[in-house]
Every structure is written in C-alpha cells, then in structure tokens.
Amino acid sequence: MTVMSETRMQAKNLNLFYGTKQALFDINMDIERNKVTAMIGPSGCGKSSFLRCLNRMNDTILNCVVKGQVLLDGYDIYAKAVDPVLLRAKIGMVFQKPNPFPKSIYDNVAYGPRIHGLTRNKGELDGVVKDSLKKAGLWREVKDRLKDSGTSLSGGQQQRLCIARAIAVNPEVILMDEPCSALDPIATAIIEELIGNLKANYTIVIVTHSMQQAARISERTAFFHLGKLLEYGDTRDIFNRPKHEKTEGYINGRFG
C-alpha cells in the first residue's frame, strides 16, 4: 500500500521579478495535503504574487519572471512539458471579486468539464454540475433556476458559484485570493464553513487580509513581509507564540 506524502505542494528557492523589481525572495514552503494554509501580511508583501505562482497565473503578466521551483506531488509545474491550461484545472483559483461568466448558472459550472472533455454525455455533465453545486453549498438555492444568469445571484452566491466552477474540473488544489473581502459577514461565514468542508477533498491555500479569518479556518499560516516569508507554521503557534518580532507586531496591530 502506497502512503501518500503529507506534502502536496512545495516552493523551493522561489524568486519573482516584475521587470527589474524583485517581489519575492527565496521562498521555501511546504503546503500540506487536505489542510487550509492561510497567507497573511501587510498589503504589497507578496502573498498574492506567491499565490499566483502556484498555478502559473503569473505567466499572463508581461515581464514577470519566476525563478526556482514549485512542485505538485513532486513534479515541477514550471517544467517545459507542463501545459498551463491543464495545470490550472488541477490547481483551481477563486478570486477576490466574484467573476461568474455572463452565462447561465448551469453553463458556468459546465464550462470547464466541456472544454476539458471530462464528461461523455449530457447525463454525466448534469451530474457533475449538480455535484459541484452541492459541494459549493449552492444547489438548494439554485436548483430551480439553473437557466438564470450567474450574474443574477447575490455576491456571496456568485462566489460560491465560482467555487463550484473550480470544483467541476476535479482539481487537487484550490487557491483563494481574499475570497471574502467583497462579502458581508453572513456571506463570509457561509464561505468559511464551506472551506472547512472542502478541505476533506482538496488542499486549500487562501490569502486573507483578515487575521481573524486565518485563525478561524486554517491549520497552517504563513506570514509574508516585503516579499519574504518571515514565519510559517501551525496557525495556533503563529498567533499565540510567534517567533519573529515582525510577526508579533503585525498580529498585535502595531503595523500593517
């Protein structure tokens, strides 16, 4: 019987440049399987830049250069043989602002399985759409309005639709870039509960500006400052016994 490694993704000596400006400096980080890893730090510290390195979203930015390695189950995602489109199906992303396609709720979720050829017929596709909406905690709210536009939903529902869209292509990792920053407290609580449920099947990495959110939902927390990973460990240790003075200062609100 093969024992799966606790580590799902790794960054090794990762450096990121936007033109001549270096944004990330020698990041080394192991991301654990079926856990929520939160990234915190002041604005402009590099946490979102790092998140985009994990599924090669930075490939789309002009003059952006990534050096070092990012491994998914031991395989370098920046290897020449890797197709970034297929990679982004394996490592899905949910953005800060909900961005449903201007299509029906059904077609939003069905889009990925269709373009990747993951289903053989309409019945299978219907099943994937239903299952994805259920996992995203949205099925009961939209099951009678699947033909309505995704943009007709509330902000919190739109964000769950985007999560369903990411789930529909059967990813291994889900990246979330401040997924609750545009939502009210009730919608935020629903998304946080959803994240807690999703980690049973997915590895989740979340950037959040809310330290309270990081403390509530994550098992591991990384603190970034000026493009460097200053501290990384169990969330309880980071918040209760930080080792670095800048981590302690940020958590206690002395800067940020």
What is the C-alpha separation between 55 and 138, in angstroms, rounded?
Answer: 26
Q: Quick one: 236 exposed, middle or buried, by C-beta within 10 A (0-12, 13-18, 19+)?
A: exposed
Q: What is residue 254's predicted lDDT score, i.e. its pLDDT?
A: 78
Q: The tokens of 179 are what?
A: 């997924």
Task: Give the residue extent of every domain in the chain.
Answer: 7-251
Task: Please name the CATH architecture into which domain 7-251 falls.
Answer: 3-Layer(aba) Sandwich (3.40)
Strand order in the sheet with 75-76: 21-32, 7-18, 64-72, 75-76
Rounded Cα–Cα distance for residues 59 and 39 (Å): 21
Could you read off the pLDDT tens digit of each residue along the chain, which spans 256 residues? 445 679 999 999 999 999 999 999 999 999 999 999 999 999 999 999 999 999 999 998 999 999 999 999 999 999 999 999 999 999 999 999 999 999 999 999 999 999 999 999 999 999 999 999 999 999 999 999 999 999 999 999 999 999 999 999 999 999 999 999 989 999 999 999 999 999 999 999 999 999 999 999 999 999 999 999 999 999 999 999 999 999 999 998 876 6
- Six token digits for residue 253: 């609100």
Predicted pLDDT at 253: 85
Q: Is the dihedral of CA 79, 84, 86, 90 positive or negative?
A: positive
DSSP labels for 105-166? HHHHHHHHHHHTT--SSHHHHHHHHHHHHHHTT-HHHHTT-TTSBGGGS-HHHHHHHHHHHH
Q: 169 with 112: CB under 8 angstroms?
A: yes
